[in-house]
Amino acid sequence: MKIAISGKGGVGKTTLAACLSKYYAQKSFKVIAVDADPDANLASALGLEYEKAKKIIPLIEMKEFIEERTGAKSGQYGSYFKLNPKVDDIPQKYGIEIDGVRLLVAGTIKAGGSGCYCPENVLLKRLFKHLVVDRDEIIILDMEAGIEHLGRGTCENMDILIVVIEPGLRSIQTAYTVKKMSSDLGVKSVFIVINKIKSESEKQILLENLEEFEVLGELPYSDKVRESDLKNYSPCVSDIKFKEAVENIANRINKFIRG
């Protein structure tokens, strides 16, 4: 099962990625959670202590590792480097085990201009493709809003892309942009998760603006989840109602994928 999570900044992508990862790990599935956000903080959301999380270096910034795998220094454009670097041992070697979830802090492919074609981008792109196409584990990708750098092969093999929205029309606008991008890239299924819901009327306004989408589920606003970020504990264990809502979403994902 390969799940990517996208959406506007701050809507709750990392919170959902962490909670789904933990849910599947607790059900004894093997899970690789991939932090593909430039501002990586999935480790904390999975419950790693702040001091340890702070020290993690994303793969895309590991200069020696990039050189070892591609044969070229990171940031070198136009020079010769391997287009087919070895990536299949990366989850085992560079992943961090947090409470049954293997976390891979990858970082983000640099977009635009010459940044598109440099050793670290090629390596990361290949890693994402390997994770989505070749692996048997459950893969959960915590992304930023843009998915264009993933490439067609990866997108076509993803089971679902979840776009998280919060009460606010701007996050819906982002969802439309992501949806358009997804169809251009061949993503099979795009779903919405509504997060931070405080009232039924709020939810109704959002639903009226989401007619073109399939809504996978909703997550309530939770003071405990908010507090978990402030006090650095995992949001997934903080609030029973929130936890149940995550389970409902996971059940709908399972149903959809199994058909």
- Binding region for ligand ATP (CB under 6 A): 7, 9-15, 37, 39, 195-196, 219, 221-222, 225-226, 229, 235
**Partner that binds at residue 85, options Mg ion, ligand ATP, none, CB closer than 5 to 8 Å by kind:** none
Query: In the bound complex, what is the minimum distance in angstroms from residue 128's beta carbon to ligand ATP?
Result: 17
- Are 20 and 246 in contact by the 8 Å Cβ rule? The answer is yes
d(CA 56, CA 236): 21
d(CA 165, CA 167): 7
- Are 107 and 40 in contact by the 8 Å Cβ rule? The answer is yes
Residue choice 14, 121, 154, 238 for contact with Mg ion (CB under 5 A): 14
Structure tokens at 139: 């893969």
Query: In the bound complex, what is the minimum distance in angstroms from residue 41's beta carbon to Mg ion?
Result: 6
Structure tokens at 71: 């044969």
Backbone torsion region of residue 137, taken as left when φ is above 0, otherwise alpha when ψ lies between -120 and 50, otherwise beta: beta
Residue nearest to Mg ion (CB): 14
**Partner that binds at residue 9, options Mg ion, ligand ATP, none, CB closer than 5 to 8 Å by kind:** ligand ATP
Query: In the bound complex, what is the minimum distance in angstroms from residue 244's beta carbon to ligand ATP?
Result: 13
**Partner that binds at residue 12, options Mg ion, ligand ATP, none, CB closer than 5 to 8 Å by kind:** ligand ATP
